[in-house]
Amino acid sequence: MSAVSGGGDPAPAGMGPPPPVLVAEGLEKTYRISRQPRAVLAGVSLAVRRGELVAVMGPSGCGKSTLLHVLGGLELPDRGTVAVAGIDLYALDDRHRAAFRRRRVGFVFQFFNLLPSLTAAQNVSLPLELGARGGWPWRRRADPATARRVQELMASLGLHGLQGRRPDEISGGERQRVAIARALLTRPDLLLADEPTGTLDHHAAGEVLELLLQLTEQQAQTILVVTHDLRTAAYADRVLLMRDGRLIEEVILGRRVHHDTAPLLGRLAAQGL
């Protein structure tokens, strides 16, 4: 995989790069749902450092979502390893991997995945509620520490006053902010986002992208986004271009004030993407 610089600022003198939060090596995954097995991951390796925003970009069907699921411990690879915060996900049994994922990895999806019968605050608190109760049903009286965390988190993400609203009573951009708050509730080492702006209008998408960038700058949150959207990818420090189950090129954009798409356009055209 070749690298192309987009003119990012160099690291301060005397400071080396922070250690990687996410390290994947040699990931392979084949689906056998037809006569001809289809390889969706073909030897993918990558690393993401603390406080980095990295995008994986490629056409539909190239393996982006499968990669995200494998990186987050949702789907086992056929071969390869994934380590988050130094923990080998696939050396854990199913129960311990699920517990690790619930506490240390946050997920944000294109369609929000909010429960319509719960309020915004209840949706945000769900990971800790389920962990504490050991499963369903929902208990209306939340743990006081969880309630404080939810209130502080929602206020910090611009959701103050929406705690009692249900998903159908708030806008799409607000729903995605609620989903991001839920993903951040346990202070995860890694935040994984699958097409986080795919269902949002231009303005709401911009607000969500600015929020993700703010999380990396102010809280050193590590974020990996998979997307086919050029504007979303342009917010990243680095963009990994994917095709046919492989990472074929890295475009280094660096932390920028203006998120123009020009550095990406030429590389996409050169790769036929």
Residue 119 domain-assigned? no
Which one is predicted more confidently, 162 or 18?
A: 162
What are 136-152's pLDDT values in tens digits?
Answer: 545 555 578 888 889 98
Residue 178 domain-assigned? no
**How confident is the model over 88-105, as a mean pLDDT?**
94
Strand 238-243 versus strand 20-31 pairing type? unpaired
| pLDDT value at 10 more than 50 | no
Q: What is the predicted pLDDT for the residue at 236?
A: 96
Model's pTM, two decimal places?
Answer: 0.87
Mean pLDDT value across the chain:
87
**How confident is the model over 120-147, as a mean pLDDT?**
71
Residue 123 domain-assigned? no
Please tell me the distance from the alpha carbon of residue 194 to that of residue 268, in angstroms, as a whole number.
20
Using the Cα atoms of residue 138, residue 140, residue 144 and residue 149 in order, give the sign of their dihedral: positive
- The amino acid sitting at 187 is R
* Total of domains in the chain: 1
What are 30-66's pLDDT values in tens digits?
Answer: 988 766 788 899 999 999 999 999 999 998 889 999 9
Task: Name the band, by pLDDT with cuts 50, 70 and 90, for residue 134.
Answer: low
Residue 165 domain-assigned? no
Strand 79-84 versus strand 2-5 pairing type? unpaired
What are 245-254's pLDDT values in tens digits?
Answer: 999 999 999 9
**DSSP per-residue string spanning 177-204:** HHHHHHHHTT--SEEEEESTTTTS-HHH
> Cis peptide before 188, with omega less than 30 degrees from 0?
no
Residue 147 domain-assigned? no
**DSSP per-residue string spanning 209-270:** HHHHHHHHHHH--EEEEEES-HHHHTTSSEEEEEETTEEEEEEE--S-SS--SHHHHHHHHH
Q: What is the predicted pLDDT for the residue at 169?
A: 95
Residue 240 domain-assigned? yes
Please tell me the distance from the alpha carbon of residue 226 to that of residue 56, in angstroms, as a whole number.
5
Note whether 96 and 90 are within 8 A (CB): no
| pLDDT value at 9 more than 60 | no
Q: What is the predicted pLDDT for the residue at 19?
A: 77
Q: Which domain holds residue 68?
A: 2-9+18-113+183-271
Q: For the sheet containing 20-31, what is the strand order?
A: 38-49, 20-31, 79-84, 87-88
Helices (H), 72-118: 94-104
The CATH number assigned to the domain holding 260 equals: 3.40.50.300
Which conformational region is residue 86 in: left (phi greater than 0), alpha (psi within -120 to 50 degrees), or beta? Answer: left
Residue 154 domain-assigned? no
Residue 37 makes CB contacts below 8 A (sequence gap 6+) with 30, 31
| pLDDT value at 17 more than 90 | no
Please tell me the distance from the alpha carbon of residue 93 to that of residue 2, in angstroms, as a whole number.
36
| pLDDT value at 109 more than 70 | yes
Which one is predicted more confidently, 263 or 218?
A: 218
Residue 138 domain-assigned? no
Q: What is the predicted pLDDT for the residue at 139?
A: 52
Task: Name the band, by pLDDT with cuts 50, 70 and 90, for residue 20.
Answer: very high
